A and B are shown apart, each in its own frame.
Chain A
Amino acid sequence: MRLGANLVIGGALFALAIFVGLLAPWLAHTDPVMDANLLNAEEPPSWIWWFGTDAQGRDIYSRVVHGARISLTVGIVSQLVNSVIGVTLGLTAGYWGGWWDDFVNGLTNLMLAIPSLIFALAIMAVLGPGLTSLLIALGLTNWSFTCRIARASTLSLKSQGYVQAAKVLGYGDLRIMITQLLPNMVGPIIVIGTLGMGGAILAEAALSFLGLGVRPPYPSWGSMLSEARDQITTAPWLSIFPGLAIFLTVLGLNLLGDGLRDVLDPQSRSRRT
């Protein structure tokens, strides 16, 4: 089987981000928060300071490396929450139908009508800034696509022989959902989840940029961009490197999502077997 270029490049970029995040303490040159030294303030990139330093003399390279941890945590955790909510709602709505389906549909349409960033902003305003509120806000606001996919898959899978057979064999609703329906829709759910992860990383950047996300001095890519705002002309490296990190990670996730779609698509799958 030939793997698509999307899958390979996207997978490599995402794997790199994960690798950096996991090994951050060993890859970083200095402590990203504590090692401020005004003597080294605003050094441009060089052999000593790979990505330059900021106004407090902190090493940008080390901060970007540590920022991977926060950005990836936000991306992965919030998207997991979204997937769980979306799949639970979509699967039960499609399976049971009736008033529950109407309710879930209404809720999904409502969520789609309000831009999720605005919604997340509102939640952050209530919960206050910080990583935990960020995870909650982003985890609660981006499940509508997953929900729609799960519902649509359920509706088409419901009439499959093996779902009917499971009823005849005495499976309860929950068992049917977990053994017959869920495993047959993981493909599209993973694709949507991968793309959603990229979206969550961007949303974290945006919220942190607005000062609502991760609070300084802890480095997230978004909060670094936010802090670099005023020096964009005098010290562009302060924005370029965290910006590049976001760009490459999100690009990687989008390519990975597309690549997975090609692989997991039922039609291309049946072509292989």
Chain B
Amino acid sequence: MTGPPLLEVEDLRIDLNYRSSQVAAVEGVSFRIDRGETFGLVGESGCGKSITALALIGLLRQPLSIGAGAIRFDGREIQSLSAAEQRALRGNRIAMIFQEPMTALNPVSPVGRQIAEMFVLHQGKDWREANRLAVEALASVRVPAPERRVKDYPHQLSGGMRQRVMIAIALACGPDLLIADEPTTALDVTVQAEIIELMRNLCAERGTAILMISHDLGLVANVCRRVAVMYAGRIVEERGSDDIFRASAHPYTQGLVDSLPRLGSRAALGRTRLTEIAGVVPAITDFPDGCRFNPRCARATDVCRTTEPATTLLGAGGLVRCHHHA
């Protein structure tokens, strides 16, 4: 299929504006997602994943703002759209689900109504039709007895059920892109796996692309075809999911991979201990000169401490930002 990619982010910078000064919370971030593709964004807490997602849907608010770069959805630049045009995209062509299924649903509104609202809002359906579609939507996320469940209030549902409802709401209008920001961190592990599987299957059936955001590299690599690793506001490596485990190029990514508990390949090599990356993420106001990872990097040299590494293209569409990459 030709035409523009579904989502194209080019050299995005997000500024954090203080009264007198301004720092870049995210800088030089570029990636693209094709139709129906699954793309992951991984990194430690505070590295800028969530604000990048908010920028994509035009919802950055003061003190944060887009400082430079372009975000194109389906060939159209998000920043150039009017507020009403952006609203028409949100929930309709770009949907998002969050970490907290407990709080993302309105406590005083039956869940069926909250799903139906999407059909009324974005497709101009009348409430009768919208309510009927809401039952179908609830059935599609495998909620048992959906015609009864639509009348339930959020507090009557378990966390897993609520996240299913969130998925039903997000996918109600058949979006082209689903952004899932830590969609399962609040759930216990077995439910987590179910929800991820459900989300992946539904999106695959409908050709919906996924941008999955998490600090869990294992989870993301499992769901997504390609993964970008973020550190301190920058993408430091982007690879196919298989490559990232087999041959990660950036010292930070290697650290992430080594800190994952894994069965299989690594265990076969002997009992390797789980390693953690030493040190802490630098504060946003206090990024080091040169490579932002250099205080924690075992491979750092003088050039790392003075010069910001440029992006190097690897084979198979991968890229890395490191002076001494593998």
Give chain A interface residues in 163-205, CB to chain B under 8 Å. 164-172, 175, 179-180, 183-184
Contacts A169-B90, A169-B95, A169-B169 given; does A175 touch B107 at CB 8 Å: no
Chain B residues within 8 Å of A, Cβ to Cβ: 57, 59, 87-92, 95-96, 98, 100, 102-109, 117-118, 121-122, 155, 166, 169-170
A179 near B109: Cβ-Cβ < 8 Å: yes
Asked, given contacts A162-B106, A167-B59, whether A179 binds B117 with beta carbons under 8 Å apart, the answer is yes
Binding site for B on A (CB under 8 A): 160-162, 164-172, 175, 179-180, 183-184, 273
Write the nearest CB–CB distance from B177 to chain A, whole angstroms.
12
Contacts of A179 in B (CB 8 A): 106, 109, 117
Are A170 and B91 closer than 8 Å at their CB atoms?
Answer: yes
Decide if B121 touches A170 in the complex (CB within 8 Å).
yes
B92 to chain A, nearest CB (A): 6
Shortest beta-carbon distance from A135 to chain B in Å: 31
Kindly state the separation between the CA atoms of A105 and B102 in the bound complex, as whole angstroms: 33
Partner of A161, one of B103, B118, B155: B103
Closest to B103 in A: A161
State whether B105 touches A162 (Cβ < 8 A). yes
- 10 A-B residue pairings within 8 Å (CB atoms): A161-B104, A162-B105, A165-B98, A168-B59, A169-B96, A171-B117, A175-B117, A175-B121, A179-B106, A179-B117
A273/B155 contact (C-beta < 8 A), A160-B103, A161-B100, A161-B104 known: yes
* Complex: chain A residue closest to B120, CB-CB: A175
Least Cβ–Cβ distance between B89 and chain A, in angstroms: 7
Contact of A162 among B92, B103, B170 (CB under 8 A): B103
Q: Specify which chain A residues have a CB less than 8 angstroms from the CB of B91 in the assembled complex.
A: 168-171
Given contacts A164-B98, A167-B59, A170-B92, could you give 18 more A-B pairs where the C-beta distance is less than 8 Å? Answer: A160-B103, A161-B104, A162-B103, A162-B104, A162-B105, A162-B107, A164-B104, A165-B166, A167-B90, A168-B57, A168-B95, A169-B91, A169-B170, A175-B121, A179-B106, A179-B109, A183-B108, A273-B155
Looking across the interface, which residue of chain B has its beta carbon closest to that of A168? B96
Q: Nearest CB to that of A270 among chain B residues?
A: B155
Beta-carbon contact of A183 and B121 below 8 Å = no
CA distance A273 to B100 in the complex (A): 20
CB distance from B162 to the nearest CB of A (A): 11
The answer to whether A184 touches B103 (Cβ under 8 A) is no
CB-nearest residue of chain B to A182: B108
CA distance A269 to B106 in the complex (A): 16
Nearest CB on A from B159, distance (A): 13
Contact of B122 among A161, A164, A168, A170 (CB under 8 A): A170
Q: Contacts of B169 on A, CB cut-off 8 Å?
A: 169
Distance in angstroms between the alpha carbons of A8 and B89 in the assembled complex: 50
Closest to B87 in A: A170
Contact (A184, B106) CB under 8 Å given A167-B59, A170-B87, A273-B155: yes
Q: How far is the CA of A229 from the CA of B92 in the complex (A)?
A: 68
* Centre residue among B89, B107, B155 by max chain A CB count within 10 A: B107
Query: Which residues of chain A are within 8 angstroms of B170 by Cβ–Cβ distance?
Result: 169
Residues of A within 8 A of B109 (CB): 179, 183
A168 to B55, CA, bound (A): 11
Taking each of B91, B118, B169, which has the highest tally of chain A beta carbons within 10 Å of its own beta carbon? B91
Of the residues B88, B100, B106, B108, contact of A170 by C-beta under 8 Å:
B88
Give bound CA distance, A170 to B90, whole Å: 5
Alpha-carbon distance between A184 and B109 when the two chains are bound, in angstroms: 9
Looking across the interface, which residue of chain A has its beta carbon closest to that of B156?
A: A273
Given the complex of chains A and B, what is the CA–CA distance between A160 and B87 in angstroms?
Answer: 20
Assembled-state Cα–Cα distance A130/B313 (Å)? 83
The winner among A162, A175, A183 for most chain B CB atoms within 10 A is A162
Q: Which residues of B contact A171 (CB under 8 A)?
A: 87, 91, 117, 121
For B57, what are the chain A residues with a Cβ–Cβ distance below 8 Å?
A: 168
A183 to B113 Cα, complex, angstroms: 13
Give the interface centre of A164, A166, A168, A171 by most chain B CB atoms within 10 Å.
A168
Within 8 Å by CB of B106, from A167, A168, A180, A273, lies: A180
Ranked 4 nearest A-B pairs via Cβ: A161-B103, A170-B91, A169-B91, A170-B90
A165 to B162, CA, bound (A): 14
With both beta carbons as reference points, the residue of chain A lying nearest to B172 in the complex is identified as: A169
Chain A proximity of B321: nearest CB distance (Å): 30
On whether the beta carbons of B92 and A183 are closer than 8 Å, the reply is no
